[in-house]
Amino acid sequence: MENDRFEKRLHYAYILSMITIGYNLVEGGVSTFFGASDETLALFGFGLDSFVEVLSGVGIAHMIYRMKRNPVTERDGFEVTALKITGTALYILAAGLVVGAVLAVINKSEPETTLAGIIVAVLSILTMYFLYREKIKVGEELESQPIISDAKCTKTCFYLSFILLASSLLYELWQIPYVDALGSLGIAWYAWKEGKEAFENAKSKSLSCSSDCC
What distance in Å separates the CA atoms of residue 193 and residue 170, rounded to the nearest whole number?
A: 25
Distance, C-alpha 135 to centroid of its chain: 14
What distance in Å separates the CA atoms of residue 106 and residue 89, rounded to the nearest whole number?
A: 26
How does pLDDT run across 87-97, given as a tens digit for each residue?
999 999 999 99
Give the rounded percent of residues in the chain with a pLDDT score beyond 90.
67
The model's pTM is 0.92
**Angular region, 22: left φ>0, alpha ψ -120 to 50, beta rest:** alpha
The answer, yes or no, to whether residue 63 has pLDDT greater than 90, is: no
How does pLDDT run across 12-33, given as a tens digit for each residue?
999 999 999 999 999 999 999 9
Distance, C-alpha 29 to centroid of its chain: 14
How does pLDDT run across 107-159, given as a tens digit for each residue?
999 999 999 999 999 999 999 999 999 999 998 998 877 788 788 889 989 99
